[in-house]
Structure 1
Amino acid sequence: MRFNPKADISGGRVGDSGSGGGGGMGGGGMRIPIPGGTRAGGGIGGLIIIVLIFVINSCLGGGGGTGLPSPDSGIDAGSQTGNAQGLQKDSERYANCKTGEDANNDPDCARKAVAVSLEDYWTTTLPEQADVQFTPAQIITFSGGVDTGCGQATSQVGPFYCPADQQIYLDTTFFADVLEGQLGGQGGDYVEPYVLGHEFGHHIQNLLGTMNQVRTQKGPDSDAVRLELQADCYAGMWTKDASDGDGIFLDLDQGDIDEALDAAKTVGDDRIQQQSGQRVNPEGWTHGSSEQRQRWFGIGFDQGTLEACDTFSASEL
C-alpha cells in the first residue's frame, strides 16, 4: 500500500486527544474476554476484558434520541448530534501531515490520508446511491483514556464509533497489542484502513437511519450481526474504489486486500470464542462469524453498491 506522493491530505478530519484517565465506558458497551494477559475491568480472572472492536457503544445519560442500545448494557443510544469532545484537547500530532509523501513515511499521516479517501468516497457515493447528503465523521486518537459522547473510554477499548457525537475513536496501540498479540492476526499496512472503513460504515448506517432497525442483539441471524456485516460490506465498497488507483492510493494490491480479509477473520465471533477457550456458540454472536465477515467484505468489494450490502433483507448471511 502506497499513497500518491502528490496527494493533498491536509483536509483529513483526524485529531488527537492526548492522554486521559481511566474509568471505562461507564458500564455500557459490549465486553468480551481475550485470551492471555492480565485482568482489566474486573469480571474474569486471567483474561483481558475489552470492548469488542467495531462495537457501536451506548451513550450514557440518554439525550432524548433513539438509536442502537448497547448489548448487555440496558442503555439506549442518545442523540445523533454533538461535538467531538476529544478534539477540544486537540494536539499537534497531525499538524505536519500535508501530502501523500508524508503518509508514506508516517503512520499518523497515513491515518489522515485514509480519512481523506473515505470522506471523498462517501461524499460522492452516498448522495448518488441513497440520495442522502454525507456529513463526515472525525477520527480521534487517544492514549490512556478519552471522554466521548458515549462515555469515557479507556485504552482497553478497541476502535469504535459513537453515534451520539458521530466520531470514531481509537487507541492506535490496539492493533499490535490486541488484534495481533492477543487474537493472532497477521497484521499489515491495510489492517487499520480496513478498521477505519468499517467504522465509517457505521457512520453511514447512522446517516441512513439503519441503526434504528436493530431490535435483536444476539444470535447468528440477529439484527446486531446484520449491522456489523453491513459495515464490513461498506468497507469493501470503499476498498474497491480505493484500489482503482485514481485517488489517494498510488497502489493497493491483493496483498493489502488479503490483510483486510485476515483482520475480518480475526474478529469473527467464532474465532473470538475459540481464542477465549470457549466452544463456538452461534447464539452468542453479535458481529458474525469469520467466514461471514470475510464474505460480506467481498460482496462490497465485488459489487460496490449499498443495495448489494443490504444485509437486513438477506435471507442467508
Structure 2
Amino acid sequence: MQFDDDARLDPSEVKDVRGSRVPGGKATVGGGIIGLIALVLGILFGVGPDQLGLSSGGEDQPAASASSATRVNQACRSGADANSRQDCRTVGVVNSLQDYWRSEYARRGGTYSPASTVLFTQRVNTACGAAGSAVGPFYCPGDRQVYLDMGFFEELRTRFGSTGGPFAQAYVVAHEYGHHIQNLMGTLSRSQDGRTGADSNAVRVELQADCYAGVWARHATTTPDDRTGRPVLARLDEADIRDGLDAAAAVGDDRIQERFQGRVTPESWTHGSAAQRQEWFRTGYRTGDMARCNTFR
C-alpha cells in the first residue's frame, strides 16, 4: 500500500483530539475484562456507543472538538507523510475514501455529505454518548463522524490475531465509512430492530459495510483527487488485500467467540462469521459495484 508521495493531503477531514481532557462524568468503560468485553462488542457493532448501552447516560455531552490538538493538521501534508506516519496514513485513507464516495454519488446523480474522522485517546464525547477506547472504532450516526483510537490497531494484531499491515488499518476505516454510506441511504435507521443472530439485520448491516469497503478498495488507485487530478493512493496489491481479508476474518463473530469464550453461539452474532466477512469484502472488491452489496436479499 503506497500513497503518491506528491499527493496533497487534506488534514481538515480528520479531527485530532488525542491527549485532550474530556469533560463530563466518569468513563463508561475501563480496563480488565469489562473493557475487553466492551472492545469486542464495539468492534462487532461498529456504530455509536448509545446503541451498545455504553453511553454515560447523563446529560448530552458536546461532540469532540479539534481545538485541543492539531497534530495531524501540522504533520500530515503530503502522501510522503502518509507513507511514513500511521496517523497521516489514516488522513490519506480518509481523503481517498471521501474522494471515491464523492465521485460515486456524483456519478449516480447525488451529492455526497462527507464525514470527519476523530482521533482520540482514552475517552471521547460524541452525539451518541461518551465512550472509552475499549469500545473500539465506531461510527456515530448522530454527528456523522467516525471515532478511532489509534491504539486499536495494535489490539487488532495482538489480541485478535490479525496479521496487521497498513491495509488492515485501511480496511477498518473503510468499514466505518461504509456505515456512513448506510446512514446517508437510510439503511441504518431501517435495519435496527434489536435482534441478533446469523440472519439478523445487525449482521446484514455489518456485512454490507464490509462490501462497501471492498468497493472503495477496487477504485482507490484510480479515483482522482479533486485538487490534483491524481489518486491519493498510488498502489494497492494483492498482499494488501490479503491483509484486509485477514483483518476481516479476525473480527468475525465465530472467530471472536471461539477466542474469548471458547464456543461459538450463532444466535448472538451481530457481524457474521469470518468467512462471511471475507466473502462480502471480496464481493465488493471483485465487482467494484455498490449495487452488488445488497446483503438484505
Please confirm whether the aligned pair reaches a TM-score higher than 0.5, indicating the same fold.
yes
Does the aligned pair in 1 maintain the 2:72–2:88 contact within 8 Å? no
Cα shift readout 1:178-205 (whole Å, capped 9, x = no counterpart) = 2111111111111111111000000000
Q: Which of 11, 15, 39 is the aligned partner of 2:33?
A: 39
Could you state the TM-score of these two structures normalised by the residue count of structure 2? Answer: 0.87
For the residues of structure 1 that align with 2:111 and 2:267, how far apart are their CA atoms? 37
TM-score calculated relative to the size of structure 1: 0.81
Structure 1 pair 11–71 and aligned structure 2 pair: CA distance change class (3 A): closer
Deviation at 1:154, TM superposition (A): 1.2
Contact persistence 1:132–1:208 (CA under 8 A) = no
| CA-CA distance at 1:11 after TM superposition | 5.0
Shift of 1:150: 1.2
Q: What is the aligned counterpart of 1:299 among 268, 283, 286?
A: 283
| 1:276 and 2:260 are equivalent in the alignment | yes
Secondary structure of the structure 2 residue equivalent to 1:52: helix
Map 1:1-317 → 2, pairs under 5 A: 1-11=1-11, 13-19=13-19, 20=21, 23-25=26-28, 38-41=32-35, 49-50=38-39, 51-53=41-43, 55-59=46-50, 70=51, 84-129=63-108, 131-176=109-154, 178-214=155-191, 215-244=193-222, 247-313=231-297
**Structure-2 separation of matches of 1:90 and 1:74:** 24
Describe the superposition over 1:59-101 as per-residue Cα deviations: whole angstroms up to 9, x where unpaired: 4xxxxxxxxxx256799xxxxxx98523343433432211111
**Residue 55 of structure 2 contacts residue 129 of structure 2 at CA under 8 Å; is this kept in 1?**
no
Change (3 A) 1:302 1:291: same
> How many angstroms does 1:223 deviate by?
0.5
Stretches of structure 2 that go unaligned for 5 or more consecutive residues are: 224-229
- In the alignment, structure 1 segments of 5+ residues that lack a partner are 32-36, 42-46, 60-69, 76-81
What is the CA-CA distance between 1:301 and the residue it aligns to? 0.6
1:216 Cα deviation after fit:
4.7
Structure having the higher helix fraction is 2
Q: Secondary structure at the match of 1:136?
A: coil
Q: Is the 8 A contact 2:81 2:88 kept in 1?
A: yes
SS at match of 2:66: helix
CA contact under 8 A between 2:42 and 2:52: conserved in structure 1? no
**Secondary structure in 1 matching 2:135:** coil
How far apart, CA to CA, are the structure 2 residues paired with 1:247 and 1:230?
Answer: 25
Change (3 A) 1:12 1:73: closer
Q: Name the aligned partner's letter for residue 97 of structure 1.
A: C
RMSD: 2.7
Distance change in 2, residues 1:140/1:55 (3 Å): same
What displacement does 1:24 show? 4.2
SS at structure 1 position matched to 2:118: strand
CA distance in 1, matches of 2:169, 2:159: 16
- For structure 1, which segment, 239-248 or 179-188, has the greater mean C-alpha deviation from structure 2 after superposition? 239-248
Q: Contact 1:161–1:168 (CA<8 Å) still a contact in 2? A: yes
| Cα shift readout 1:211-246 (whole Å, capped 9, x = no counterpart) | 122125301110010000000000000001114486
Q: How far 1:107 sits from its partner (Å)?
A: 1.5
- Provide the secondary structure at the position in 2 that maps to 1:87: coil
> How has the CA–CA distance of structure 1 residues 210 and 259 changed in structure 2, closer, same or farther, with 3 Å as cutoff?
same
Q: Do 2:255 and 2:274's aligned partners in 1 also have CA atoms closer than 8 Å?
A: yes
* Aligned partners of 1:213 and 1:223 also within 8 Å: no
Matching residue's letter, 2:126:
T
Q: Is the 8 A contact 2:122 2:133 kept in 1?
A: yes
Tell me, what secondary structure is at the counterpart of 1:115? helix
- Give the structure 2 partner of residue 79 of structure 1: none
Letter in 1 for 2:32: T
Relative to structure 2, which stretch is displaced further, 239-248 or 183-192?
Answer: 239-248
